[in-house]
Amino acid sequence: MIQLTPSHLQIIYNHAEGAYPEECCGILLGVASGSNKECVKVITTENAWNTQDIPDLFINQEASRNRRYTIAPRDLMEAQKQARQDSLNIIGIFHSHTDNLAVPSEFDREYAWQSYSYIIVSVYEGKARDVKSWYLDETHHFIEEVVRY
């Protein structure tokens, strides 16, 4: 279970709708105890897919930012620093799927990290329609978790 506030959700929706038709992304800071997570702060980040901000590995791949996202290492480090200052942890990542379901892609699964929650917002025709959250099990497959707000 991941607990957000209505204003956290609003920040995520606004970021997702503003980025449409590209995917948006961001970082969730909060506290985790067992499988329960409480979000305290939402950090919106740039979608660095296919930009100079990310390792060569990712650059010039055919998929566009309408179908892929990545968070620049610089933004992750900044979020980590902020989390430490506020005695929080990075508890998850959010991103949007545009004109697509809030279900992780195979690419999302491959690049996901254990213990993080992955919130996905689906945006259809520029309007956020649905939000779901996912985490990895021991076999590196996604399981859906409840989002409360």
Nearest to Zn ion of 22, 108 (CB atom): 108
Distance of alpha carbon 102 from alpha carbon 113, whole angstroms? 18
Question: Which residues have CB under 8 Å from 111's CB, separation 6+?
Answer: 70
Interface mask toward Zn ion for 50-89; x: CB under 5 A: ----------------------------------------
Q: Which stretch binds Zn ion (CB under 5 A): 28-36, 37-45, 53-61, 97-105?
A: 97-105
Nearest to Zn ion of 88, 132 (CB atom): 132
Query: For residue 89, what are the β-bridge partners?
Result: 30
Q: How far is the CB of 132 from Zn ion (least distance, A)?
A: 11
Report phi then psi at 18, rounded to 5. -70, -30
Helix residue ranges, H only, the chain: 6-19, 73-85, 106-110
- Regarding 22 and contact with Zn ion (CB under 5 A), the answer is no
Q: Which stretch binds Zn ion (CB under 5 A): 31-39, 72-80, 82-90, 99-107?
A: 99-107
Distance of alpha carbon 77 from alpha carbon 74, whole angstroms? 5
Nearest to Zn ion of 110, 138 (CB atom): 110
Q: How far is the CB of 105 from Zn ion (least distance, A)?
A: 5
Query: For residue 98, what are the β-bridge partners?
Result: 123
Q: Quick one: which of 89, 108, 134, 136 contacts Zn ion (CB under 5 A)?
A: 108
Q: How many CB atoms lie within 10 A of CB 146?
A: 10
Residues of the shown chain interacting with Zn ion in the complex, contacts defined by CB under 5 A: 105, 108
